[in-house]
Amino acid sequence: MILSFHPCFVADAQIIPGDRKLDSTDMSLIRKAKAIILPQTCSRTLYRACKTSSAVLYPNYDQRFQYEGKTGQSRLFEKMEWPHPATTRWRSAEALMKNPKQRMPFFIKADGSHEGAGVWLIRNREELESVVKRLERWGKPSFVTQEIIECRGNVLRVIVLGEKFPCYWKRPQAPDQMVTTVSRGAKIDKRWKPDLQRKGVAQAIRICDASGIDLAAMDFVFSMNVLDPEPLILEINYFFGRRGLGGSLNYYRRLYRAVRNWLREQGLDTKSVKLV
């Protein structure tokens, strides 16, 4: 039996719990399932419940919940020795303010933020003090500071979608733009520097092989000050925008193919799942 918690995929059984807690009927279906399809909005509670069964799960969110937030991902990158910008974890803004060794400029990235929210460029003491106040209002005491890579604002996004790895550049509209996201007006460019695109995709594949990640958006930067730069991973986004993939409808079609391929690899009936 294939069980779906995803609102867009109907299977042998489908559960859309919304905000309610899982009940005994839900848990019975989880225990009976051979495969479970999860939504990208999957909570830690739902994932933990599904992990108690013998079912195979898609997506694999082991790393998502073991290494949460910016601080968690920095620990993952260090543990796996994946090339990444130098990053320091902080438990409080007060600790950073008392540290005279932090060299400017640098980025501050709040824990739990994504798609450019909670990311600030720090060039002087005044900007640091202003951001510290924002962090206090943010309500999340932990954060990271990160070195600035001379990427000129260009960020390569690689989408992990089953066995497919479409990618595109997020390029700044202004020459001095340091935080580059599509939500802040970045240009999507699928043709620029194909050699670096291939490097980024190859690194994403290595990361997936080592971690089991099979649905995410990985952001990479390259130092443009060197002749043959290598990809440095910035972050892994498990819930990401779809504009670079041609919109939500195209994304769900791609995801449907990925789910069917995954079921086929498990030896299960792909006809049991329909895209609605």
Report the CATH number at residue 228: 3.30.470.20
Provide the number of structural domains found in the chain.
3
pLDDT score of 272: 92
pLDDT at residue 12 in the model? 96
Alpha-carbon gap, residue 171 to 196, rounded angstroms:
14
142/250: higher pLDDT: 250
Residue whose token pair is 């990235």: 109
pTM for this prediction = 0.92
- Picking from 97, 119, 146, the residue at the C-terminal end of a domain is 146
pLDDT for the residue numbered 110 = 87
User: Do 84 and 77 contact (CB within 8 A), yes or no?
Assistant: yes
Shared domain check, 257 and 240: no
pLDDT at residue 218, rounded to an integer: 97
* Of 182, 237, 235, the residue nearest 61 (C-alpha): 237
DSSP 258: H
Q: Indicate the pLDDT class of residue 98, thresholds 50, 70 and 90.
A: confident
Same-domain status, 161 and 128? no
Cis peptide before 105 (omega within 30 of 0): yes
pLDDT digits (tens, 9 = 90+) for 142-187: 899 999 999 988 999 999 997 889 999 999 887 666 666 766 667 8
Same domain, 91 and 160: no
Task: Tell me which residue range forms the domain holding 20.
Answer: 2-59+249-275
**Res 104 pLDDT > 90:** no
H/E element, 119: strand 119-122
Helices (H), 88-223: 93-97, 125-138, 194-211
Q: In this structure, are 165 and 138 located in the same domain?
A: no
Looking at the domain assignment, is residue 74 inside a domain?
no
Q: Are 160 and 218 in contact (CB under 8 A)?
A: yes
Let me know: does 28 contact 37? Beta carbons within 8 Å: no
